[in-house]
Every structure is written in C-alpha cells, then in structure tokens.
Amino acid sequence: MIWFQLQSLMGSYPLALRGLGMTIALSGISLVLGTILGFALGVLRTSGSRLLDSIIGLWVDLIRGTPFLVQIFLIFFILPELGVELDAFTAGIIALTNLAACFICEIVAAGIRSVPTGQVEAALASGLSQWQRMRQVVLPQAMRVSLPPLVGQYVLLIKDSSVVSAIGLTDLTRVGWLVVQRVPNGLLVFAIVGIGYFVVCYPLILLARRLERRMSAAHGEVQL
C-alpha cells in the first residue's frame, strides 16, 4: 500500500519541483524587495522626524496585528474591485514584500537605536553628512545587532509564504493539496512538503546561528 503510494508520489515530482520553485521564487523576490524597503523604512523611522516615525509605526503595527491571510485576500480580491488588476503572483509578491518590509523595518530600527549616541556625535562633529553617518558609522554597527534576527526573520517569512496557496498560486503547500487528492496519505504527502520547506530554511537557520556566534568575535562590524 505504502509502496504503491510512494510510486504514485514519484510520478508527482515535476509538480513538486514546480511548487518548490514557486516557493523559492516568491520568497526570494519578496525577501530581496522587502529587505530593501525594510531598510529604507527602518532608516526613515529613526531619522528624527516624529511624523514619519508614527506613520511608519502605525503601518507596521497594522500589518503585524492582522493575519497574513487577510492581507493577501485584501490585496488579491479587494484591489481589483478598486480597479487595480493583479495576477496571483504579483499579489503574492506585494503581500509578502510588505510583510517582510514591516518586520525588517523593526529589526533595522532596533539595531540603529542600539548604536550609542556618542557614535553619531563623533561622526557629526567630524562633518560627515547624514547619509555618510548612516553608511559609515551607524549601519555597520547596527548590523551587529540586526543580522541574526534578520536571518531568523527570513526563515519565518519563507514559511509564511505558504499562505499564498490560498489565492491559487501553485507553491509547495498547494502542490501538497493537489497531490493528496490523488494519493490519499496526508501524513506522507505533507511530511514531504515539510521537508521541502526545511531544505530551504535549514541553511538559513545555520547561517543565523553562525552569525550569532561571530558577533562576539567581531569588532562591531560583521562580515559575512
């Protein structure tokens, strides 16, 4: 029986690869975009403008305080009603990028706030511009604090990407649903789906741990 199911599963491997590819593409693109956006938001949040800080803070709280599934539905089903047509892939990318940016914004802002004010004052006193102070003095030190949680967050986001199967994207999770209709062994199928995610996430988990260990040895800046 199991043997037969396994054989049947083998037949589904092109579909599984497609699902894995979709999961990797979705997470990869959103994480890159989300990281860029998240850094920008984190820097803006700590730039000293009370107004910007509270606007970004409100948005971040809103996103963190609502289920990701609801956010995806809003983007995929509600935006078209307002005249913005989106395919499922774009909607997924937007939702995941936004989610990633919000979490990364908080991690980056916390890192920036952890840099002693004396560092900024020294940079200020030597005539560095705001951007140079950020780039040369603050961010390298902030990364020391931010990098391990940042990589940890990537792992969470890759797993969160499974929610996009709800709007019909054939990612790893949806492939599981499709296959389980043909091979009625949910335990086996979803165990394999789980392994798929783990294979993507595990290197990141290892990287996060490695970074954390390196922190103590570094002189305030982290090189990968």
Partner 1 sequence: MIEFRGVNKWFGALHVLKDITLSVEPREVVVVCGPSGSGKSTLIRCINGLETIKDGDLVVDGQRLGDRATNMTELRTEIGFVFQAFNLYPHKTALENVTLAPIHVRKIARGEAEASGREMLAKVGLGDKFNAYPSELSGGQQQRVAIARCLCMRPKIMLFDEPTSALDPEMISEVLDVMVGVAEEGMTMMVVTHEMGFARKVAQRVVFMDAGAVVETGTPEEFFSDPKTDRSRAFLSKILRH
**In this complex, which beta carbon is closest to partner 1, that of residue 97 or of residue 141?**
141
In contact, 42 and 108? CB cutoff 8 Å = yes
How far is residue 38's CA from residue 146's CA, in Å, rounded to a whole number? Answer: 12
How far is residue 167's CA from residue 77's CA, in Å, rounded to a whole number? Answer: 9
Comparing CA positions, the residue from 162, 51, 144, 141 lying closest to residue 99 is 162
| Only segment of 36-44, 51-59, 72-80, 215-223 that touches partner 1 (CB under 8 A) | 215-223
Its sign, for the CA torsion 49, 135, 58, 32, is positive
How many Cβ atoms from other residues are within 10 Å of residue 111's Cβ? 22
Output the smallest distance, CB 132 to partner 1, in A. 5
**In this complex, which beta carbon is closest to partner 1, that of residue 14 or of residue 127?**
127
**In this complex, which beta carbon is closest to partner 1, that of residue 187 or of residue 224?**
224
**In this complex, which beta carbon is closest to partner 1, that of residue 90 or of residue 114?**
114
Output the smallest distance, CB 218 to partner 1, in A. 8
Total interface residues for partner 1 by CB under 8 A:
22
Q: Which of 15, 36, 140, 185 binds partner 1 (CB under 8 A)?
A: 140
**H-only helix segments in the chain:** 2-10, 13-45, 50-64, 68-73, 79-81, 88-113, 117-125, 130-132, 139-160, 172-182, 186-217
Output the smallest distance, CB 104 to partner 1, in A. 21
Q: Binders of partner 1 among 106-135, rule CB under 8 A?
A: 116, 118-119, 121-129, 132
Q: Binders of partner 1 among 143-162, rule CB under 8 A?
A: 144
Output the smallest distance, CB 198 to partner 1, in A. 34
Output the smallest distance, CB 113 to partner 1, in A. 17
Supply 51's token pair: 């107004």
Supply 224's token pair: 């990968």
Output the smallest distance, CB 206 to partner 1, in A. 24
78: left (phi over 0), alpha (psi -120 to 50) or beta: alpha
| Contact residues: partner 1, CB under 8 A | 116, 118-119, 121-129, 132, 136-137, 140-141, 144, 218-221
